[in-house]
A and B are shown apart, each in its own frame.
Chain A
């Protein structure tokens, strides 16, 4: 009847209908329960109130947020989200069987949520507004979600119902409908009037209806979880839910009564799926009951919680993963109780049982929580669940748990909430966006790879390429494989257990069929567990292969045996190739390089075998003999640059330890040696050839410093940039290399395991497009300092010094290869980054450093229908600087979905943006810049129209996108305004090319900060929501949109652009701030080029610095800070990052949206 059905339109739904009524019947039972449950609800509600108390205002706001500019904070949403969420989740996935269970839950939720509201109202008048969230649903229409109407009705109905006594009549209605044993219904109905007690008895019966006895039911469920797929699981959960309901808010179901009943049915799918997620969030109570019933659900819930993360609940969820449920429960942790709420989410996301052994514990938890929820129901617990119930104790725990629930599911729901971009203006979350959590069971979620290391654009993998095409989103991975890690399990073992056919490393997502066999999660081959693997070195026990660290951690490092070596590990070798032409001397980098290297000589990664060498060049090439025993370094000059030869083979690369004095000598004398150089030519090509020859025997790292266009010998380049074309809108020429000399040399280097890193410090055009090839294909990194001058450009100098320090001391891996494997059916389409592709899934990395990242485009070749999970494994084999061969393995596991709405719910907008950026860079080089820009705009158009036509059925004007992707247009607009891709604004070719290189190699977080900087207001930071780390308080100001209208003259704003912070001081900024933080008496006295925050003893200064330090944390390269005054010329650099505003050549955000809309209507 309702739109939802129409939307889904899937035949299964129809089928499901009949079943639904049955479910609805259970609801009635529940209804009475609710009454009893009231007490429980109370707790929950109280708890919620407590938790959200301060948030409440936000809630109020939330409903209105669509229209009103007020800051709608996603996290706060619970109420609004619930309603909104209800519609979207795709119930369609579930089959008929599933539907029934779901349907009930859905109804439950709605009611429950309502219920809680009522309770809240009772308790606190103030809260009423929050419940208004229910009414809020009506507001919803603006949003125009198809399901929305249904939801709103639903909400209202439920409310009415709830208000009315959990009617006996309804229950009667339900009874007939009930599938369950006839005898049962009658009692239940009778009971209902009575409070909780009766319900409990009902529970028992309902359970029976599904399973023979409660006990059996559980057993079944257990089995089901192990063996069945998600569906089986779902059903179980539903059964469980029934049982649970009584204790919890289930009473709401009773509300369903006759009218409600129908509704419940109708909503069935929609409400359920959506409801599951949504309801879970709002209605702690409801969730709780459900949770008890289904273990799986519990797991899911936990997942959600983790995903949700924002609220208090989230933390708890993460804290207690499934397996130890009992302990945790006893401990009174949130998490356990949480699971119930998760059930809802589970429904939303059908990924049921993963056949994971750990299921059992979770299962057990369910019951436990169950008991919690219904503390008062002695009967209930006694009757069948005694075992389970006993552990659970007191109401307080319960309430806490319930309270925790509230936060979780919202995310799910929230992700699908349709957002009308033209009406909703406050899209940014208060805190920088986190990666969405895949919808997995908590077990899997707990062990899944960190999103910082391994991220997928779609955290729910579409089942088929057709579905992927329909979603119009790119599928790909963003990898940061060699990231600096705080902790990393290193495993030394004689045999590294791998799949015999696909060579996948054993990982947490494999299945142990029994003690001796495991099933590969990528190719599904069954392998034997070797004897050695039976022993667990961590626990020193035997026979527990699934407890081994390899199976407990998704990121592990193996010490590889000689099987993994082509040759013995080579010593770390570093060669520095320095430009000493006149231009370089002018720029003055040499002195700083030598100083920094001297300081960091002992910190160079390596061992006693570490070798270093130096080579300088202008129009000739100078080698330095540093052989131990010499009294001072010897310079050997090779002037034959057409046929470079190495003057002496064994004394140019020397052992650092043995020749340290000579090296120090050289470094101290080097700057002076060339200070009088008048040679303006640069023979970079021959110098690189010499470096290649010098390093060929061992491989290693070559660091090249170049300050001008190479003009001599092989690889000489011409200036290709026409300054008049810098701001052309027609397209940009010469983005590709002018010669393949550097590429070929890079490939040779790559073959000899030599990585070349390029530092370009030039004030003029140096053809980075050609030069960068030397690093691109040898897996090096590229640094560019435009207009570098040691006096005239102190900012660049400081950046250079900071970067260099990090560069010298960061980890390095040599002779690396990285292979990416993925579940059968997925295949790798394209790689992005710096490397040489040796095979379809193998990257050859001469060097690997902790600061470079990779992107991989994937395609789906075969349907993934036969598995509920898709896994990706990246294995990086490298030689450490200590001469050890190591393998770092990352494994990511994601659910497979067959519903478009689920795909959207799981979309990771940041990852999508980064992958699209990479693709756009490729396109602009292979085709043209304007092509690439069009492609980006089309990506937005496609997404919006695909979403409009496939998911949201409402014919609504405006741009509607799922909430998970609400920032997509902003990000794309930001991309279009980046140096790499912008047109119309004067951009030097080298800077553009460098920006492109950055896009290809920067890790996601860094890249996102560059693309879309974080803007905070600093002068009125409060301690609300502040983090307490150690003994410092780190305030957490809210993110602001990048628009000048968010700035005010009386404020101070911090913009975090990744590599640099801008602190913008308004003209009328309070003098207190200027004095306390900047140490200047007033605005006028702030020096124009201030680039540090003085360490003042004032509380304001401490807070600001604490916040800055916190932002700096975990950042590889420390960022500089620039103080920008409102009137300074530097203002332009600050304002160019305000991407939502119109610039002289680019449209504003609103104009961009209008443009999108026009494109759509074409």
Chain B
């Protein structure tokens, strides 16, 4: 159960990097453009760890026979797999193509995706917390 907390910490961390991306969109492009480029790069690097961690938790849930939790996470896992399969052609691991990320549609989509995931992770964080406390109390 302690693992859950850890997971959440990671999730928080993940969401943490999402925010900068969101922010840089609204920032003044002329002033912040350099920062923005850097942040996009950071985001590129963070995608894979996020997926791996999520996958790792799913495995842990599976081992712990937490079927309900696993079911909740499976759709996202499937989405991650699909997203990674349909990523642009690139030789290195990564999800975002620097040449198209500035396209308003793609950027908006990534942003939306980030927020949705943030919400999901937050909710699951509280759910895990509740589950952990429940287990602690009942034991």
- Spell out A's residues near B (CB within 8 Å): 502-503, 736-741, 743-744, 747, 777, 827-831, 836-842, 857, 859
Contact = CB atoms under 8 A, between A and B. Distances in A.
B131 interface: no
Nearest to B99: A777
Number of contact residues on B: which range applies? 10 to 19
B104 A859 contact: yes
A433 B102 CA distance: 34
A837 B102 contact: yes
Contacts of B36: 839
B139 interface: no
Given A737-B89, A740-B90, A842 B33 contact: yes
Given A828-B104, A839-B37, A736 B89 contact: yes
A839 B102 contact: yes
A857 B30 CA distance: 19
18 contacts: A502-B30, A503-B30, A737-B89, A738-B89, A740-B88, A741-B91, A827-B104, A828-B104, A829-B103, A831-B102, A837-B99, A839-B33, A839-B36, A839-B102, A841-B30, A842-B33, A857-B104, A859-B104
Contacts of B49: none
Contact of A739 (B89, B99, B104): B89
Nearest to A857: B104
Interface in B79-94: 88-91
B26 to A, nearest CB: 11
B91 A744 contact: yes
A829 B29 contact: no
A747 B40 CA distance: 15
Nearest to A746: B99
6 interchain residue pairs of minimum CB distance? A839-B33, A837-B102, A829-B104, A740-B90, A840-B29, A830-B103
A740 B103 CA distance: 19
Contacts of B98: 747, 836
A839 B103 CA distance: 10
A909 B135 CA distance: 68
Contacts of A842: 29, 33
Interface of B: 29-30, 33, 36-37, 88-91, 98-99, 102-105
A828 B37 CA distance: 17
B89 A740 contact: yes
Contacts of A739: 89, 91
A839 B29 contact: yes
Which of B33, B89, B99 is the most central at the interface, judged by chain A CB atoms within 10 Å of its CB?
A: B99
A897 B72 CA distance: 51
A859 B103 CA distance: 12
Contacts of A840: 29, 33, 102, 104
Contacts of A857: 104
B12 to A, nearest CB: 29
A859 B105 CA distance: 11
A838 B104 contact: no
Contacts of A831: 102
A839 B38 CA distance: 11
Contact of A830 (B33, B88, B91, B105): B105
A840 B88 CA distance: 21
Given A747-B98, A839-B36, A830 B89 contact: no
B103 to A, nearest CB: 5
Contacts of A827: 104
Nearest to B32: A839
A915 to B, nearest CB: 15
Which of A503, A741, A830, A859 is the most central at the interface, judged by chain B CB atoms within 10 Å of its CB?
A: A830
Contacts of A741: 91
B99 A836 contact: yes
Nearest to B34: A839
Given A777-B99, A838-B37, A740 B91 contact: yes
Contacts of B37: 838-839
Contacts of B30: 502-503, 839, 841
Which of B36, B91, B98, B102 is the most central at the interface, judged by chain A CB atoms within 10 Å of its CB?
A: B102
B111 to A, nearest CB: 13
B34 to A, nearest CB: 9
A944 B86 CA distance: 36
Nearest to B108: A829
Contact of A829 (B33, B91, B99, B105): B105
Contacts of B104: 827-830, 840, 857, 859
Given A740-B90, A827-B104, A840-B29, 10 more contacts: A502-B30, A737-B89, A738-B89, A740-B89, A740-B91, A743-B99, A838-B37, A839-B36, A840-B33, A841-B29
Contacts of A743: 90, 99
A579 to B, nearest CB: 24
B107 to A, nearest CB: 8
Nearest to A738: B89
Contact of A838 (B33, B88, B103): B33
A747 B94 CA distance: 16
Contacts of A502: 30
Contacts of A503: 30
A836 B100 CA distance: 9
A474 to B, nearest CB: 13
Contacts of B102: 831, 837-840
A741 B90 CA distance: 8
Contacts of B89: 736-740
Nearest to A736: B89
A503 B33 CA distance: 14
A830 to B, nearest CB: 5
A836 B99 CA distance: 6
Nearest to A740: B90
Contacts of A841: 29-30
A256 B103 CA distance: 57
Contacts of A740: 88-91
Contacts of B91: 739-741, 744
B99 A747 contact: yes
A191 B26 CA distance: 67
Nearest to A502: B30
A181 B99 CA distance: 69
A15 B36 CA distance: 52
A748 to B, nearest CB: 11
A330 B30 CA distance: 50
Nearest to B98: A747
A393 B72 CA distance: 88
Nearest to B30: A503
Contacts of A859: 104
A827 B30 CA distance: 13
A828 B105 CA distance: 11
B31 to A, nearest CB: 10
Contacts of A836: 98-99
A823 to B, nearest CB: 15
A814 to B, nearest CB: 21
Contacts of B29: 839-842
Nearest to A741: B91
Contacts of A837: 99, 102-103
Contacts of B105: 829-830
Nearest to B94: A740
Contacts of B88: 736, 740
Which of B89, B91, B105 is the most central at the interface, judged by chain A CB atoms within 10 Å of its CB?
A: B89
A829 B88 CA distance: 20
B23 to A, nearest CB: 14
A743 B100 CA distance: 12
Contacts of A777: 99
B116 to A, nearest CB: 21
A923 to B, nearest CB: 11
A831 B101 CA distance: 11
A741 B105 CA distance: 25
Which of A740, A777, A828 is the most central at the interface, judged by chain B CB atoms within 10 Å of its CB?
A: A740
A508 to B, nearest CB: 23
A305 to B, nearest CB: 38
A841 B30 CA distance: 8
A842 B37 CA distance: 12
Nearest to A828: B104
